[in-house]
Amino acid sequence: MEPSPAGSFSHIKKRQENDGYRLYRSDHAGLELKAALVKRLSEKGHDVHDLGPATTESCDYPVYAKGVCGKVLADAGNATPGDEPASFGILVCGTGIGHEHDRQPHPPASRAALCGCEFQARATRQHNNANVLCLGERVTGQGVALDIAELFLNTAFEGGRHLRRINQIEG
Ligand code: RB5
């Protein structure tokens, strides 16, 4: 795994033909869960790039959120809000809240979702076409968080009335 100059943590995997890849990172309070995600997803054949941070030395989560969300947006290119994301991001901090607040908030904005259960993970993909998952290592148990991540990555956007609502936000 190659560390990036940005010091982020990313995981890349082709799920199927024409499918996108995944970008992951944490702050110092998300290291343990980040490591568990790398392990779980590596075991499942995902191409994982852990780009840091590598230690529990205090660092600033906005630096990490901007990096991942910027990549997700760059990957999206000229995609419309109804398109399946070309890539997904996962941000892990202590609560998940800081990262969710600091997702690329200005248009074009990433659609970041803080999830604490599988219901939210499924719904935010089906209804919000979320492209960034935020997790709180100090809040959500590791087993639940891993299942949330897998469900998030494997659930498709439903479109229809949900796309109308996303367009109302982003339009
Ligand atoms: C770090 O102490 C903590 O503030 C951070 O990981 C995150 O939870 C912020 O929202």
Q: Mean pLDDT throughout 83-92? A: 86
- At residue 10, the pLDDT reads 44
Does the pLDDT at position 9 exceed 50? no
Buried b (16+ CB within 10 A) or exposed e, 29-53: bbbebbebbbebbeeeebebbbbbb
CA of 82 to the centre of ligand 1 (A): 31
- At residue 48, the pLDDT reads 66
Which of residues 109 and 59 earns the better pLDDT score?
59
Q: Of 6, 19, 37, which Cα lies nearest the Cα of 133? A: 37
Cβ < 6 Å from ligand 1: which residues?
27, 29, 61, 93-95, 97-98
- At residue 29, the pLDDT reads 87
- At residue 156, the pLDDT reads 94
Q: Mean pLDDT throughout 107-123? A: 90
Q: Mean pLDDT throughout 1-9? A: 37
Q: Closest residue (by CA) to atom 3 of ligand 1?
A: 94
How sure is the predictor about 52, in pLDDT bands with cuts at 50, 70 and 90? low
93 is catalytic: yes
- At residue 105, the pLDDT reads 63
Exactly one of 11, 49, 127, 134 is catalytic; name it.
127
Q: Which of 1-15, 68-82, 90-104, 121-135 has the lowest mean pLDDT?
A: 1-15
What element of type H or E holds 63?
A: helix 61-76
How sure is the predictor about 91, in pLDDT bands with cuts at 50, 70 and 90? confident
List pLDDT tens digits, range 129-164: 999 899 999 999 999 999 999 999 889 999 999 999
Q: How far apart are CA 94 and CA 34, in angstroms?
A: 11
- At residue 60, the pLDDT reads 86
Q: How far apart are CA 24 and CA 29, in angstroms?
A: 14
Q: Mean pLDDT throughout 25-53? A: 79
Exactly one of 11, 49, 69, 93 is catalytic; name it.
93
Ligand 1 atom at shortest distance from the alpha carbon of 138? 8
Radius of gyration of the CA atoms of the chain, in A: 15
> What is the distance of C-alpha 94 from the center of its chain?
15
